[in-house]
């Protein structure tokens, strides 16, 4: 079993192995290239498709971005990310269609054991000792707005039509159609027609 396969079957894995470091290095190098380019450079946005798992045809990343693997992230159509997106996609991350991210959003699909010996001096089946991680993944549905400075932790499912308020730390699932916010983030109320701003048009 490869180290990447260990991630996807829910086992502890060593992110310092050459296998995983090489995968991450490719994404890191392409993020760096993206971040150094002018936002009007037509060669900038296509760089995303060089390392992302998949993405729709219409998307925009303001940048700067930092994505750990890229190949573990799958994004739908009509995606927008504002400044300073961080994606720790050790496990797979799925993002639906028509999703918007505000500035400084962090997706953290990774975790470490709480017991120190398991976290920093884990002995693996082949005998080597290293730092340990495990990861389950993140799912974000369609038509979602994640506002500024939101952190979404591992093993979270965000339903369709959800709005996550600024500064929230999302550690639990959020059902379809809810406004949610807080630390920790909680569903506050359903979003209804009373929330319409069409009168401002």
The residue among 193, 72, 41 whose CA lies nearest residue 137 is 72
49: its two tokens: 């498709």
26: its two tokens: 């490719």
Active-site residue, from 25, 28, 72, 112: 112
Q: Which residues pair with 59 in a beta bridge?
A: 79
Relative to beta strand 129-130, strand 156-158 is unpaired
The residue among 189, 188, 155, 149 whose CA lies nearest residue 171 is 155
Q: In what order do the strands lie in the sheet with 138-140?
A: 73-75, 93-95, 138-140, 156-158
Q: Secondary structure of the chain: what % helix, strand, coil (to 5)?
A: 20, 30, 50
Relative to beta strand 59-61, strand 79-81 is parallel
Confirm whether 25 is a catalytic residue: no
- Catalytically active residues are 112
């Amino acid at each position: 079993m490869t180290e990447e396969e260990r991630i996807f079957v829910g086992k502890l894995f060593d992110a310092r192995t050459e296998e995983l470091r090489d995968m991450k290095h490719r994404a890191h190098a392409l993020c760096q290239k993206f971040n150094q380019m002018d936002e009007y450079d037509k060669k900038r946005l296509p760089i995303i498709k060089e390392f992302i798992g998949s993405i729709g045809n219409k998307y925009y990343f303001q940048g700067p971005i930092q994505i750990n693997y890229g190949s573990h992230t799958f994004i739908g159509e009509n995606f927008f990310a504002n400044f300073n997106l961080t994606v720790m996609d050790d496990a797979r991350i799925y993002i639906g269609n028509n999703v918007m991210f505000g500035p400084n959003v962090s997706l953290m699909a990774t975790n470490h054991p709480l017991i120190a010996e398991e976290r920093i001096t884990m002995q693996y089946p082949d005998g080597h000792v290293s730092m340990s991680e495990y990861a389950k993944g993140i799912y974000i549905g369609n038509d979602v707005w994640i506002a500024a400075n939101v952190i979404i932790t591992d093993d979270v499912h965000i339903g369709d039509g959800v709005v996550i308020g600024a500064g929230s730390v999302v550690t639990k699932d959020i059902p379809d159609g809810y406004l949610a916010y807080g630390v920790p983030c909680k569903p506050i109320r359903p979003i209804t027609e009373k929330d319409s701003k069409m009168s401002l048009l």
